[in-house]
A = this chain, B = another copy of it.
Amino acid sequence: MLQVAIIGATGYTGSELVRILSHHPYTNIALITSESRSGERFSDVHPSFEGICDIKLQMAAEIYKTHLDIVFLAVPHRVSMGYVQKWQNHKFKIIDLSGDYRLSSADVYQKWYDKEHLTPDLVPDVVYGLPEIDSNAISSQKIVANPGCYPTASILALAPLLANGIVDTKSIIIDAKSGITGAGVKSSATTHYSNVNENFKAYALKTHRHTIEIEEQLGELSESDLKVQFTPHLLPIDRGILTTCYATPQKTVTEKGLQKLYTSYYQSKPFVRVRQQAPEIKHIRGTNLCDVFVTYDERTNRIIALSAIDNLVKGAAGQAVQNMNIMSDLPQTAGLLSIPLNP
């Protein structure tokens, strides 16, 4: 059994990690930490878990006293890099769910996150853990940066096009819509029920930090220096992201050809379902699945690619467990085969 620690228990990422790992056949949750609520039980913070996970929360410093194979960092960015700085030479492997190690360099990080990085030398070396793109690169790593939720959905929607040089790299528009859990567990005007319910809006126009994450990954796939138009919106639902992506082909394409390409690209990827119809968020809710669909509009000569993921699972905790599986030579799907809760 892998001994795992979850650093940061109070957020949604933390509770989803516990939800998934509790039934994982090859792991044991050895430690859950929270600086603000240590001493309480995990189920005091997340009452759904009463009788299911009543582990007492510890301070993060407890990692020194615990035998651990894997440490999940489920804390805000900035906090994450502090732990990595301290723990990088420990024996356990680290999967960081924050944004701190997803970008190509400390400079790029500083530009988009507006703060200096604590471990600039480490940044370029940490692998971006999106297994459907390159799971080999992940398997040998000691530290993996778990992708953001929007980037996971966006990259999986577009990867077959970029990897095959099909689209004009200047033409990419990603119109993304996310459930409110993406904004976190913290109470604020943004998450107040009456500001979300029966409402819908775009936010962070032109400036969302996930933009650069998408650009770097798609850029690498297409071996080009591309820019994307990324517009996130807030859906009045708990979970789920749907992206609607537009791009102009730079080659002759057909709808059939594109669908064949997607099917082939994701052939041996257990969590990507290439659908025959536009995906729906509820079809993947609570699971590590990513549904994708591609179509071609002859009238306008434009490709439309759509994807749907659960932002807390494939967009966070589920993908982190998938990375853990890969890093630990376990079957990629171990502990991750739940069925969508629908309705």
Q: A interface vs B, CB < 8 Å?
A: 12, 15, 19, 22-23, 46-52, 173, 175, 177, 180-181, 185, 187-189, 191-203, 205-206, 227-229, 231, 233, 235-240, 242, 244, 246, 273, 275, 277-286, 295, 297, 299-300, 302, 304, 306, 308, 337-343
Contact = CB atoms under 8 A, between A and B. Distances in A.
Contacts of A282: 48, 195, 198-199
- 6 cross-chain pairs, A with B, having the tightest CB-CB distances, nearest first: A194-B343, A201-B280, A199-B282, A175-B175, A48-B340, A187-B187
A343 B200 contact: no
A129 to B, nearest CB: 23
Count of identical protomers in the assembly? 4
Which of the listed residues A51, A177, A198, A283 has the most CB atoms from chain B within 10 Å of its own CB? Answer: A198
Contacts of A238: 193-194, 197-198, 343
Contacts of A342: 15, 46, 48
Contacts of A194: 12, 180-181, 185, 191, 238, 343
Interface-centre pick from A175, A181, A203, A343 (highest chain B CB count, 10 A): A343
A183 to B, nearest CB: 9
A337 B12 CA distance: 21
14 contacts: A12-B343, A47-B283, A48-B284, A49-B340, A180-B197, A197-B237, A201-B279, A201-B280, A203-B278, A205-B278, A205-B297, A236-B237, A239-B343, A246-B246
